[in-house]
């Protein structure tokens, strides 16, 4: 077992880490697994989740909004980035189900942006291959290529 002082010290340490930059539960666990005793870490994480400092759903929302604002990514790329941060497939699927139309529209626009950007330096087939490699849905690739040809 541990003392209240040890709990407070550990909580402060973890809180500093998540306040500096929002983190997923898995990121926090990975960071502190070797530093803090397992029971202590679990209790700290549970409390921080209860009071809202660690919330994977909010993390997904914020991360997706950031990606949408800054980059042209396919839905698959967004999913893989989030999974690399420790978001599980179930949480992603739940988010995707709620925001499916927005994400599909974003991917459609993103494919168009990439096609426009790459047109001057790549052949049509190369652009298609690039988009396929990036995980874009073939229907969006086709639509983007058609729009450019118009």
pLDDT digits (tens, 9 = 90+) for 70-95: 989 999 999 999 999 999 999 999 99
Are 77 and 40 contained in the same domain?
A: no
Assess contact for 27 and 46: CB atoms under 8 A: no
Q: By three-state DSSP, how is residue 137 classified?
A: coil
Mean pLDDT, residues 124-138 = 94
Are 65 and 138 contained in the same domain?
A: yes
Rounded to two decimals, the pTM is: 0.86
Whether residue 1 is predicted with pLDDT greater than 90 in this model: the reply is: no
pLDDT for position 2: 87
Provide the percentage of residues in the chain whose pLDDT is more than 90. 90
Assess contact for 111 and 136: CB atoms under 8 A: yes
Distances (CA, A) of 1 to 5, 9, 52: 12, 15, 25
Mean pLDDT, residues 53-59 = 96
DSSP letter, residue 55 = -
For 3-15, give one letter per residue: b (16+ CB within 10 A) or e.
Answer: eeeeeeebbeebb
Joined together, the tokens standing for residue 70 give: 């800054």
Are 65 and 127 contained in the same domain?
A: yes
Mean pLDDT, residues 23-47 = 95
Question: Does an H or E element contain 6, and which?
Answer: helix 4-20
Looking at the 3D structure of the chain, how many domains does it have? Answer: 2
Whether residue 150 is predicted with pLDDT greater than 70 in this model: the reply is: no
Are 135 and 74 contained in the same domain?
A: yes
Mean pLDDT, residues 112-132 = 92
pLDDT for position 130: 95
Q: How confident is the model at residue 61 (pLDDT cuts 50, 70, 90)?
A: very high
Task: Tell me the C-alpha distance between 41 and 100, whole Å.
Answer: 35
The parent domain of residue 35 ranges over 4-50
Are 60 and 130 contained in the same domain?
A: yes
Mean pLDDT, residues 84-112 = 95
């Amino acid at each position: 077992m541990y003392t209240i002082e040890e709990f407070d010290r550990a909580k402060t340490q973890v809180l500093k880490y998540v306040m500096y930059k929002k983190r997923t539960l898995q990121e926090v666990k990975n960071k502190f697994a070797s530093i803090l005793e397992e029971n202590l870490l679990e209790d700290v994480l549970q409390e921080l989740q209860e009071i809202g400092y660690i919330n994977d759903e909010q993390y997904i929302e914020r991360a997706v909004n950031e990606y949408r604002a800054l980059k042209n990514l396919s839905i698959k790329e967004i999913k893989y980035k989030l999974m690399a941060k420790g978001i599980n497939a179930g949480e992603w699927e739940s988010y995707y189900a709620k925001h499916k139309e927005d994400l599909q529209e974003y991917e459609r626009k993103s494919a168009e942006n990439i096609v426009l950007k790459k047109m001057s330096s790549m052949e049509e087939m190369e652009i298609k291959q690039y988009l396929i490699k990036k995980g874009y849905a073939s229907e969006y690739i086709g639509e983007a290529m058609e729009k450019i040809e118009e």
